[in-house]
Amino acid sequence: MQIYLDNAATTPLDSEVIQVMVETMQSDFGNPSSIHAHGRQAKTIVEKARKTIAQLLHASPAEIFFTSGGTEADNMAIVRSIEAYGITHAITTPIEHHAVLHTLEELEKSGKIQLDLLRVDAQGNVDLTHLEELLAQNPKSLVSIMHANNEIGNLANINKVSEICQQYQAIFHSDTVQTMGHYPHNLSELKIDFITGAAHKFHGPKGVGFLYINANNKIKPLIFGGAQERNMRGGTENVYGIVGLAKALEIAYRDMEEHQSYIQGLKSYMIDELKKAIPTVEFNGNTEPQNSLYTVLNVSLPCTNMNDMLLFNLDISGISASGGSACSSGSEIGSHVLKGINANPDRPSVRFSFSKNNTKEEIDTVVAKLKEICEHA
């Protein structure tokens, strides 16, 4: 039996998404930039998808721009807002996704900004008092704080971050890739400048995402070469991917309450079963349901001599997960997130991430295998 518990990396396509994408592939192959009937039909499909996404997020269709995914969207928001507003100071956390962290580090290396990293505690919670202190010193800043951490699942209070940024008139960008499609985002209430989404994190296709740009913000494109996306993103639109993205988000919102309850139940069940099977097990990050992404559980295990082999052992047992350790060994750099929260470097850690397709029976199998591995380590 193959068990897939790496849904934070990517999710399987929903059957309804496959259906609508195949139908579009078969009937609508035109270039949305072409003015003839085939092009106009493709353009209509793209704009319908844009309107669907905007309605779900309580935004205007003019604020939604399609990209190749979350990484491009993060880069565009960060690089172009810093340039557009003459920003020389940026604030983020040491546990951000590399799409954000590496982008800001590169801008600092090139001398364009000064970068400050916020304090995080041993559970990965961001110190918002530190954010206020830094903004009081440098009010003209870009703040980039992800909604949910992709490795340990911590949820940031982006409503509170938004209030702080408004107080100091800072630009606020949030990488919402892990929470898009899993939590509602009401952009008519949340005062934020940029958020990002990637379809493959909520049962849509890979290679397509979007950037929300608040209507009050005016930035230049990151990719030039055409007038697509209202002159904001050169390149022929990925029509089939965009259709799949909109359908996947529509399904996610339609079934959100049901799936959230079900998946949170799986996560809580795994926590309880692991505690019984491996009493010395530890969990990285905050596991309280109100402060933790319900799709992610980061487990720290006592089998200290399995640092390099734990994932391999799971894989040959038919269990797909991801993770690593906080230390560097061989060619492995180690997790910057686990280092950022000072996780025990001697313990191997595994990220299990769940979806609507997982079952309690799969959790039982995984817990039994982890117990076996630890007992024989």
Give the residue numbers marked as catalytic.
327
State which amino acid sits at residue 73: A
- CA angle 349–266–301, rounded 5-degree value: 20
The answer to whether 30 and 20 have CB atoms below 8 angstroms apart is: no
Spatial distance between the Cα atoms of 165 and 187, rounded to a whole number of angstroms: 16
Mind giving me the DSSP string for 240-290? HHHHHHHHHHHHHHHTHHHHHHHHHHHHHHHHHHHHHH-TT-EEES---GG
The answer to whether 224 and 27 have CB atoms below 8 angstroms apart is: no
The answer to whether 10 and 200 have CB atoms below 8 angstroms apart is: yes
Which alpha helices (DSSP H) does 59-218 contain, by range?
70-84, 98-109, 128-137, 158-167
User: Is residue 349 classed exposed, middle or buried when 0-12, 13-18 and 19+ CB atoms within 10 A define those classes?
Assistant: buried
The answer to whether 121 and 154 have CB atoms below 8 angstroms apart is: no
The answer to whether 92 and 117 have CB atoms below 8 angstroms apart is: yes
Counts of helices then strands in the chain (DSSP H, E): 12, 13
